[in-house]
């Protein structure tokens, strides 16, 4: 799997707003940077030309300066085991551009939060970020915190219209479950 850095994920306005909200809750936060992270499942090594095509396809987002990330990493991804709409479309586009070695593309957002803060203060990030599932330095093997069959991706931010998604007959029951976040501390 290829892991590719992307463009900054937040406009100047959204960056300022999120940094202000985080700083109010955790005064030790001194900086914030967010960029797209792309994950490419490939069947073989990409040639130089294929790498250039892929790089051009993955160049999008707000026109703000790219920074060298510093601080603690909070990686926001679609729930494991699902294929996001972005992934479906991006994977099709890549194949239509001649990138036959690309099986799947997926996108996440890498948030880097600078400052000296405790584990409890790090939890404040989860209350501010707009994401369905957020991980803080998640090693393989830890749980996602989502209940398969009870918390489908379509239930977040009022998307979908039937079943357990927003607006469906089981919609209210989704909010009756405790919200769980996964933060694994490496020792």
Q: What pLDDT does 166 receive? A: 46
Q: What pLDDT does 11 receive? A: 86
Q: Can you tell me which residue has the tokens 């099709």?
A: 92
Q: What pLDDT does 183 receive? A: 58
Element (H, E) at 134: strand 134-136
Q: pLDDT below 50 — which residues of the chain? A: 137-162, 166-168, 171, 177-180
Which pTM does this prediction carry? Answer: 0.67
User: How many Å apart are CA 138 and CA 185, to the nearest integer?
Assistant: 9
Q: What pLDDT does 139 receive? A: 44
Reference 105, options 2, 15, 9; nearest CA is: 2
Q: What pLDDT does 43 receive? A: 93
State the CB neighbour count (10 A cutoff) for residue 5: 12
Reference 77, options 12, 3, 23; nearest CA is: 3
| DSSP-derived pairing of the beta strands 182-183 and 134-136 | parallel
Q: What pLDDT does 138 receive? A: 43
User: How many Å apart are CA 133 and CA 118, to the nearest integer?
Assistant: 21
Q: What pLDDT does 81 receive? A: 73
């Amino acid at each position: 799997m290829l892991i590719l850095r992307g463009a900054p994920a937040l406009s100047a306005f959204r960056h300022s707003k999120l940094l202000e909200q985080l700083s109010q809750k955790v005064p030790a936060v001194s900086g914030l940077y967010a960029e797209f992270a792309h994950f490419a499942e490939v069947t073989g090594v990409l040639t130089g030309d294929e790498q250039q095509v892929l790089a051009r396809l993955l160049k999008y987002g707000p026109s703000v300066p790219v920074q060298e990330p510093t601080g603690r990493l909070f990686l926001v991804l679609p729930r494991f085991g699902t294929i996001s709409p972005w992934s479906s479309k991006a994977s099709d586009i890549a194949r239509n551009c001649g990138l036959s070695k690309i099986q799947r593309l997926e996108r996440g957002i890498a948030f880097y939060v600078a400052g000296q803060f405790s584990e409890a203060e790090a939890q404040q990030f989860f209350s501010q970020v707009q994401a369905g599932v957020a991980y803080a330095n998640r090693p393989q093997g830890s749980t996602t915190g989502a209940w398969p069959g009870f918390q489908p991706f379509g239930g977040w931010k009022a998307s979908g219209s039937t079943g357990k998604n927003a607006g469906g007959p089981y919609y209210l029951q989704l909010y009756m479950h405790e919200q769980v976040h996964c933060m694994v501390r490496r020792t």
